[in-house]
Amino acid sequence: MTSPFQSLIMIVDDNPTNVKVLFDFLRETGFRVLVAQDGESALEKLEQVCPDLILLDVMMPGIDGFETCRRLKAIETTQKIPIIFMTALSDSVDKIKGLKLGAVDYITKPFQHEEVLARINHHLKVHHLTQTLEQSVAERTAALADALEKLQHSQLQVVQNEKMSALGQLVAGVAHEINNPVGCVSGNLVHAQQYMHDLIDLLSLYQQHYPQPIGEILQKAEEIDLDYLREDLPRLMTVMKEGVGRIRKISTSLRTFSRTDSDQPTPFNIHDGIDSTLMILGYRLKASPDHPEIEVVKQYGQLPEIEGFPGEINQVLMNLLANAIDALEEAHQNRGFDAMRAHSSQIRIQTRQVNAQSIEIRIRDNGMGMSDEVQKRAFEYAFTTKPMGKGTGLGLAISRSIVTEKHGGQLMCQSRLGEGTETTIVLPLRQPTRELVRLS
Ligand SMILES: Nc1ncnc2c1ncn2[C@@H]1O[C@H](COP(=O)(O)OP(=O)(O)OP(=O)(O)O)[C@@H](O)[C@H]1O
Ligand SMILES: [Mg+2]
């Protein structure tokens, strides 16, 4: 803290006798003192120095004390310096005017030394306290804003982790459980198909060598429609094998989608992530009574494997594709039947390698798009235009945090109301190796 004895006082007065009296007295008391003869030279000097307090005469040639005060209050560097006006007892100046201009006090000539000193010290103290207070309020505000941001961030992290671990573990668990019985069915189907062919061959041999079987056999053959059965059974087998193959693919997709990430980045194929996410969202892409099928156009480029956290990237893809489907559904609800037929719902997914360091994924829908206002706020934490229970407004905020903070990439969005939206993810090919936090 500046002790009053080190404080710098500026005297602005055109009367040399007054100045001398004040100067000597203040110096004797221990202040550092600076003098200006009029308003203009005071303003000039204040460009170089910053006194702790100004004693300002009202009546001066050139700009008077009031005007000088008004100008000082308009300049950012000088507006906070306390100003005390000096007037002669005989002057009939408007004291209120000075105070309204921002001065803190008045002293009258001839000066009572004790009074002048008391007022100067009082205002120096108030000024110092105000500044300390302002600074600590500013520091507190900054600390609170920082804490709020950290809190929101960790909330995002919690939601993200919860979403991932609850859903992910369930999905991974189910996929794992399905895998064993499906493996059993598909493995045995191969043998069953072989046995079936063997039995059909054997039956053919019987028919060839015993063309006249006994009545009971003939009756049974008719009852079970043997000719049809022989034709249909191999077809059934083929369809069943296809079905099992599909279940296997779905379960692999579920496991790919719900991969739990380690704390080190791993190489992965982004197309696998997109395909497994599309497979999981498949039920929402199909035609339903109130909306036609959503066509997915894939334009995949040649991409190398990239490093990162595939489980989290899948979550980003899921959020972006779900947003596209929501936007298509909403656009659809606002259209008439003819417009619906003229306007097919489409999601286009393009991937390409941008340069030696990065790849890009563009997801474009021809849904309802966003207004400029919505587009500006879309990435905000908890911003949603969807009804309660449908959207939480976290999708894009979480996705941006995963892409930018976790992967050092970019997530951007371009949209036109009524025409559609394109979201672009840029991801670096390589990730810096992370320091492992070891618990000892
Ligand atoms: N493809 C898109 N087309 C049109 N509007 C979109 C699209 N993607 C996002 N938006 C707008 O941005 C808002 C925020 O999206 P975000 O994914 O963060 O939250 P949400 O989808 O509303 O809810 P959540 O994803 O948490 O379930 C949406 O409510 C929507 O208004
Ligand atoms: Mg969303």
What tens digit of pLDDT does each residue of 18-36 get? 999 999 999 999 999 999 9
Q: Which two tokens stand for residue 209?
A: 């060598």
Distance (angstroms) between ligand 1 centre and the Cα of 221 equals 63
Distance (angstroms) between ligand 1 centre and the Cα of 288 equals 22
Number of H helices, E strands in the chain: 13, 12
Closest CA to 357 of 279, 432, 294, 295: 432
The secondary element (H helix, E strand) that includes residue 249 is: helix 226-257
What 3-state class would DSSP assign to 383?
Answer: coil
Q: Which residues line ligand 1 (CB under 6 A)?
A: 319, 323-324, 327, 365, 367-370, 374, 378, 383-386, 391-397, 421
- Give the whole-angstrom CA distance, residue 224 versus residue 234: 16
Query: To the nearest whole number, what is the mean pLDDT of the chain?
Result: 88
Q: In Å, how far are 20, 40, 61, 259, 391 from 14, measured between CA atoms? A: 11, 11, 8, 82, 72
Give 79-83's long-range contacts (Cβ < 8 A, gap of 24+): 80/127, 80/131, 81/50, 81/51, 81/52, 81/53, 81/54, 81/127, 82/52, 82/53, 82/54, 82/123, 82/124, 82/126, 82/127, 83/53, 83/54, 83/56
Over the stretch 46-79, which tens digit does the pLDDT of each residue have?
Answer: 999 999 999 999 989 899 999 999 999 999 999 9
pLDDT value, residue 421? 98
Residues with CB under 5 A from ligand 2 (ion): 323, 395
pLDDT value, residue 110? 84
Query: Which amino acid makes up residue 228?
Result: Y
The structure tokens 């992290």 sit at: 157
**Whose C-alpha lies nearest to ligand 1, atom 25?**
395
What 3-state class would DSSP assign to 416?
Answer: strand
In order along its 440 residues, the chain shows pLDDT tens digits of: 445 458 999 999 999 999 999 999 999 999 999 999 999 999 999 999 999 999 999 989 899 999 999 999 999 999 999 999 998 766 666 778 888 899 999 998 888 889 999 999 999 999 999 988 999 999 999 999 989 888 887 777 777 667 666 677 777 778 878 888 888 899 999 999 999 999 999 999 999 999 999 999 999 999 999 999 999 999 999 999 989 988 888 888 787 777 767 778 999 999 999 998 998 888 889 987 767 899 999 999 999 999 999 988 998 999 999 999 999 988 888 776 566 666 789 999 999 999 999 999 999 999 999 999 999 999 998 899 998 878 888 889 889 989 999 999 999 999 999 999 999 999 999 998 766 544 44
**Beta-carbon neighbour count of residue 133 at 10 Å?**
10
Strands (E), 102-218: 105-109
- Give the whole-angstrom CA distance, residue 404 versus residue 410: 5
- Give the whole-angstrom CA distance, residue 74 versus residue 402: 47
Q: Which two tokens stand for residue 439?
A: 């618990």
Is the separation of the CB atoms in 337 and 284 below 8 Å?
Answer: no
Question: Which pTM does this prediction carry?
Answer: 0.61
Query: Which amino acid makes up residue 24?
Result: D
Q: In Å, how far are 89, 278, 406 from 315, measured between CA atoms? A: 79, 12, 13
- Which of 333, 388, 396 best tests ligand 1's pocket when mutated (most atoms within 8 Å of CB)? 396
Distance (angstroms) between ligand 1 centre and the Cα of 319 equals 9
Q: Which ligand is nearest to the CA of 396?
A: 1
Strands (E), 201-356: 266-268, 295-299, 306-308, 346-353
Sort strands 53-57 and 83-88 into parallel, antiparallel or unpaired.
parallel
